[in-house]
Amino acid sequence: MEEQETQNVIQQIDPYLITPKAFHLEMPLYHALDLSIGMVAEKVFEHIAHSATMDAYCIWCDKESVFDAEEYVYGKTYSTWKREDFGFRRNSYKCTRNNDHKYYMYFFRGKDILLKIGQWPSVADFQIPQAEKYRKIIGEEEYKEFTRGIGLAAHGVGIGSFVYLRRVFENLIEEAHVLAQNETGFDQDKYQKGRMDKKIEMLKNHLPEFLVENKILYSILSKGIHELTENECLQYFETVKIGIEQILDEKIIQKEKADKAIKAREAIQKAHGQIAKPK
């Protein structure tokens, strides 16, 4: 299989296997990886034995940094690892800007299973500072719910984390609804009775483009709450979270643009006023 094709298959099997960063830093605790699937086992080995650098956010530097693999270099071959390397393993990475900045992860390996059983700083410690930038755009209450979702997923609570993300999503829709309902021609009755995809269609002028294009995000969230297992929700958590962040990023850009336009307009008016004054 071609490299890209392999990556696509892996992405479908488990998004946390895609990069050393996803595996080490984003995978929630107790998320189970089935080593009886050859491709999964090979990827797990690749990450477990990963002894190179990875780019990641450093919570102490408070910005993106390069992390270098620590500990001993993993000397065993894939087949030896597969056959006999059971039990616990610790991996750690240090920030290349300051070697005291370290991330630790603990894994447990059974015959056909690998679990991440510990991480310090936690997934939430690592992700919440990165969510901070959304605080202003979604407000204090929503920000709390968003980070609670992140925190729950980090501790292996899949379905519960989806509930919080869905609330964030629904609030974005409601915000747009409040704006749209005052417009002439808005059919309130049709809106109330419509399913979420119809609602999004009706509100599309008030919603970030990414949300309108990816309205299936909502059905993934709802399906998660009603039909998916804990482990399936954890498996898709990062994907859904990135979708929501993409929507929020777009809102931030829109707001910055609008704020800049207001300032520019005022400055132009002022300049014009001064120039127009008789000398």
The total of other beta-carbon atoms located within 10 Å of residue 77's CB is 11
Q: Is 67 exposed, middle or buried (0-12, 13-18, 19+ CB in 10 A)?
A: buried
Q: Is 192 exposed, middle or buried (0-12, 13-18, 19+ CB in 10 A)?
A: exposed
40 or 95, CB closer to Zn ion?
95
State how far the Cα of 100 lies from the Cα of 178, in Å rounded to an integer. Answer: 49
Least distance (Å) from Zn ion to the CB of residue 209? 35
138 sits near Zn ion (criterion: CB under 5 A) = no
Options 101, 102, 135, 155; binder of Zn ion; rule CB under 5 A: 101
Least distance (Å) from Zn ion to the CB of residue 148? 26
Please give the structure tokens belonging to residue 114: 């690998």
Footprint (CB under 5 A) of Zn ion, residues 203-262: none
Rounded to 5 degrees, φ, ψ at 274 are: -70, -40
Cβ distance 101 to 60 under 8 Å?
yes
66 or 113, CB closer to Zn ion?
66
65 or 119, CB closer to Zn ion?
65
23 or 103, CB closer to Zn ion?
103
Least distance (Å) from Zn ion to the CB of residue 167? 33
Over the window 45 to 84, marking each residue x when it contacts Zn ion by CB under 5 A and - when it does not, the resulting string is -------------x-xx---x-------------------
Least distance (Å) from Zn ion to the CB of residue 114? 28
State how far the Cα of 180 lies from the Cα of 254, in Å rounded to an integer. Answer: 17
State how far the Cα of 121 lies from the Cα of 118, in Å rounded to an integer. Answer: 9
95 sits near Zn ion (criterion: CB under 5 A) = yes
101 or 223, CB closer to Zn ion?
101
264 sits near Zn ion (criterion: CB under 5 A) = no
Least distance (Å) from Zn ion to the CB of residue 241? 23
Residue 272 has, within 13 A of its CA and on its CB side, a CA count of: 6
Binding site for Zn ion (CB under 5 A): 58, 60-61, 65, 95, 97-98, 101
